[in-house]
Structure 1
């Protein structure tokens, strides 16, 4: 009887070690082989309801942003923002505000690509020179104080509405260049 229980103990131990090995193999498999996605395509962190401020004391420039959600991706030098609002203030220059459904920030913020219901407002609400621009996609270059698009754009100022395809706005000089198919409507 002693020999038989001794044999059963080793049989149970062997089966237990085999089951443990099988379980550890399943648990430790990389995420990409099970879900079909690359680990570096997933965000490494997500932040909700955030605001940020960047101040350039030499030029007295203040840049503020608000977003509903922020996703940062480790494998790509990319940050994605949802429901974003940018504000740029500079002494002697009109207030510059940008709203969009999504924004992708590449690098350290040198290039920002805005998508979905993009609205740009240059000037204050009570300012007669207030300009409102709407488009579906916009390339914002904060360090150059420039915005660009090659999509349809609608520009409104006072009683005039302009439709065009493509735009470049230099916020430093206030110059707007419309690239093609420009139509103006005076109301």
Structure 2
């Protein structure tokens, strides 16, 4: 009798163990399938990319480069790693943009730059050169608009301007700071406290 009592709980333990393993495998499968779905959405990957966009009508040249480009076919989104944009147009200052990451929506209508974003408007030796630094920037190439709602630093000659939020129109040269604006000019001495 001792044997029959011992074997019954062990059978139930074995059944419970098998049921646990089966449930674990069933619950793990969707995660693996989801990861594969993300991989299947990738249309193509290009490394060490360089390109030129020329608009002869407006005499506009745009150069871009990236360490890596990933295109997702389902959403028609392109992601770029370590990206650099340069725009050259007649009667407008040189515009250079760099960032660690960029995401382009369908047809490049919107470009979202993140992490270590830098915009330089003007030549390096130009005394009117403006440098802007932030961690997020939304570019709208067709209208030459750049904007952010994050902290931004603007440097021009000896002046440093810090703010939260920025709107820049490259066509008009207009730069609007949105809130918490603080300015410092190295040419004026700081008052001692």
- For the criterion TM > 0.5, the same-fold answer is yes
SS in 1 for 2:142: helix
Question: Aligned equivalents of 1:101 and 1:169: distance in 2?
Answer: 21
SS in 2 for 1:143: helix
Question: Aligned equivalents of 1:147 and 1:87: distance in 2?
Answer: 14
Question: Aligned equivalents of 2:104 and 2:144: distance in 1?
Answer: 15
Question: Aligned equivalents of 2:124 and 2:30: distance in 1?
Answer: 50
Higher helix share: 2
Question: Aligned equivalents of 2:109 and 2:51: distance in 1?
Answer: 16
Taking structure 1 as reference, are residues 89 and 35 closer, same or farther at Cα in structure 2, changes over 3 Å only?
same
User: How many residues end up aligned between the 2 structures?
Assistant: 157
CA contact (8 A) 1:32 1:39 kept: no
1:80 offset after TM fit, Å? 0.1
**4+ residue runs over 6 A deviation:** none
Consecutive unaligned residues of structure 2, counting only runs of 5 or more, are 1-28, 187-193
1:44 offset after TM fit, Å? 1.7
Q: Deviations for 1:66-95, whole angstroms, at most 9, x for unmatched residues? A: 000000001112000000000011001000
Question: Aligned equivalents of 2:139 and 2:31: distance in 1?
Answer: 37
The equivalent of 1:13 in structure 2 is none
TM-score with structure 2 length normalisation?
0.78
Consecutive unaligned residues of structure 1, counting only runs of 5 or more, are 1-30
Question: Aligned equivalents of 1:154 and 1:186: distance in 2?
Answer: 13
- Computed over aligned residues only, the root mean square deviation of the Cα atoms, in angstroms, reads 1.5
TM-score with structure 1 length normalisation?
0.80
1:36 offset after TM fit, Å? 3.0
Question: Aligned equivalents of 2:175 and 2:103: distance in 1?
Answer: 24
